[in-house]
């Protein structure tokens, strides 16, 4: 229906047709109000109820503990590159009023282009020294093609934040959720004597599976446009102690924080300090409601695991046949973004053309400086049953 192709774009990405159909109705008449969702006041009780339900669903599906608030904002992951630094430096200043910028350090784990960008933004903002706790390019290869082994990490004693990106969208590198894996996050190496402000960018893997050790995180954030809905909405999960009075911190010398970036502003206003992105919230809410109706997180985790296994199996076979080369080392491969090279003169072009003939678009990977173009398969978490069939199709054209 609707002449839709199979869209593998990594973000914005495909949304379930049933949700888009429901959203089309909601654009005309939202929950019987006689007004469309893009026309109704964000302060109406109908929208407030929708927002409450959306938040409750995220809390249930991810088992977010009462120690953490769920906040909604705009500005994408990129705004959070700045906001996490500003808010957590304010927190640090309140805890240590005597420590200036030269005695404040923020730790970054760099595993790909997005965490690299986040570290660069921290350096731009100043207020702290940026310490690279691990850089995948310096340990075990020149490229962002793996998660560093635990021995490669050097965390600071008392950092104002520790930052990592759970899934590197462009590079296809993801932390393993198996604590026994060398590609897991080294929680045991973090300073043990403080409530470590651990920050994770979950933009491209949010809700594809449960978040391990969620309660040990200070801030988890995700732009909606990969897995949850349209671009415009950013979801934050913030531990209470990281929601601080940024003005009090500024009086002690911390950088002033724009009000709309302050987690306290968002928390105190129930994420309604100013007009929120009503439509992306609505569509994202419909996606999550559908996910719950289909069996929720356990069902999707199982399905996503199977999808990933199927695609990696096909890649393995293709590698044996000399057709493909995986970009990412074994054990560090993402469930969501599978990045590989099609080997041979003109092969990539043929592959992409072949895929397009089968109605599959958005497979061309990110072109970065100095590397070949890779194919990227982005695996939508909220895929329908038809998506399962598509996986078989993809596996077929892969070989
Ligand atoms: N982090 C990750 C992991 C991403 O994939 C992206 C977007 N591709 C961003 C951050 C930046 O997000 P946005 O475009 O929403 O600012």
CATH number of the domain within which 386 lies: 3.90.1150.10
The answer on 300 and 271 residing in a single domain is: no
- Its pTM stands at 0.95
Owning domain of residue 164: 45-291
pLDDT value at residue 100: 94
Q: From CA 377, how far away is CA 85, in angstroms rounded?
A: 32
Q: Does the structure show a pLDDT above 50 at 90?
A: yes
**How many whole angstroms from 252 Cα to the centroid of ligand 1?**
32
The answer on 238 and 102 residing in a single domain is: yes
The answer on 304 and 188 residing in a single domain is: no
The answer to the question of residue 34 being in a domain is no
The answer on 391 and 245 residing in a single domain is: no
**How many whole angstroms from 137 Cα to the centroid of ligand 1?**
21
The answer on 309 and 279 residing in a single domain is: no
The answer on 283 and 319 residing in a single domain is: no
Q: Does the structure show a pLDDT above 70 at 41?
A: yes
User: Of the residues 116, 226, 307, 327, which is catalytic?
Assistant: 226
The answer to the question of residue 253 being in a domain is yes
pLDDT value at residue 385: 46
Instruction: From 234, 267, 291, give the residue that closes a domain.
Output: 291
Count the domains in the chain.
2
The answer on 287 and 307 residing in a single domain is: no
The answer on 176 and 72 residing in a single domain is: yes
Query: Active site includes 114?
Result: yes
The answer on 349 and 392 residing in a single domain is: yes
Instruction: From 291, 324, 345, give the residue that closes a domain.
Output: 291
Q: Which of 77, 232, 337 to mutate to test the pocket of ligand 1 (most atoms within 8 A of CB)?
A: 77
Cis ω for the linkage preceding 12 (within 30 of 0): yes
Which of 310, 243, 201 is closest to 90 using CA atoms?
Answer: 243
Q: From CA 322, how far away is CA 312, in angstroms rounded?
A: 15
Query: Active site includes 178?
Result: no
Distances (CA, A) of 28 to 115, 230, 273, 280, 295: 40, 18, 26, 15, 29
- Percentage of the chain modeled with pLDDT above 90: 69
Is ipTM strictly over 0.95? yes
The answer on 266 and 322 residing in a single domain is: no
The answer on 392 and 310 residing in a single domain is: yes
Average pLDDT over residues 274-301: 95
Contacts 24+ apart (CB under 8 A), 134-141: 134/109, 134/110, 135/110, 136/110, 136/111, 136/112, 136/173, 137/110, 140/329, 141/329
Q: Which two tokens stand for residue 21?
A: 């159909």
Instruction: From 256, 291, 326, give the residue that closes a domain.
Output: 291
């Amino acid at each position: 229906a609707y002449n839709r192709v199979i869209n593998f774009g990594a973000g914005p990405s495909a949304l379930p047709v049933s949700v888009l159909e429901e959203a089309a109705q909601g654009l005309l008449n939202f929950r019987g109000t006689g007004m469309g969702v893009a026309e109704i006041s964000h302060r109406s009780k109908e929208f407030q109820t929708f927002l409450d339900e959306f938040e409750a669903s995220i809390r249930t599906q991810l088992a977010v503990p009462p120690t953490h608030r769920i906040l909604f904002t705009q500005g994408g992951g990129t705004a959070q590159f700045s906001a996490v630094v500003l808010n957590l430096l304010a927190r640090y200043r309140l805890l240590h009023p005597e420590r200036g910028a030269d005695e404040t350090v923020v730790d970054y784990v760099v595993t790909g282009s997005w965490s690299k960008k986040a570290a660069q933004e921290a350096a731009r903002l100043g207020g702290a020294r940026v310490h690279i706790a691990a850089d995948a390019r310096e340990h075990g290869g020149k490229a962002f093609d793996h998660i560093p082994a635990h021995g490669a990490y050097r965390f600071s004693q008392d950092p104002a934040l520790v930052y990592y990106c759970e899934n590197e969208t462009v590079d296809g590198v993801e932390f393993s959720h198996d604590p026994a894996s060398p590609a897991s996050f080294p929680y045991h190496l973090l300073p043990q004597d403080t409530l470590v402000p651990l920050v994770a960018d979950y933009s491209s893997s949010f809700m594809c599976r449960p978040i391990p050790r969620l309660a040990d995180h200070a801030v988890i954030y995700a732009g909606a446009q990969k897995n949850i809905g349209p671009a415009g909405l950013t979801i934050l999960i913030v531990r209470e102690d990281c929601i601080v009075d940024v003005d009090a911190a500024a009086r002690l010398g911390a950088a002033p924080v724009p009000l709309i970036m302050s987690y306290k502003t968002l928390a105190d206003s129930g994420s309604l300090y100013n007009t929120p992105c009503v439509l992306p919230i609505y569509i994202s809410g419909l996606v999550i409601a559908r996910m719950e109706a289909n069996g929720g997180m356990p069902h999707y985790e199982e399905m996503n695991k199977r999808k990933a296994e199927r695609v990696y199996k096909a890649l393995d076979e293709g590698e044996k046949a000399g057709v493909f080369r995986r970009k990412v080392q074994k054990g560090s491969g993402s469930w969501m973004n599978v990045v590989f090279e099609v080997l041979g003169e003109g092969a990539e072009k043929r592959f992409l053309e072949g895929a397009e003939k089968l109605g599959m678009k958005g497979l061309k990977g990110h072109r970065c400086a100095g590397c070949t173009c890779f194919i990227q398969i982005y695996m939508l978490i909220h895929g329908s049953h038809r998506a399962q069939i598509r996986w078989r199709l993809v596996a077929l054209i892969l070989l």
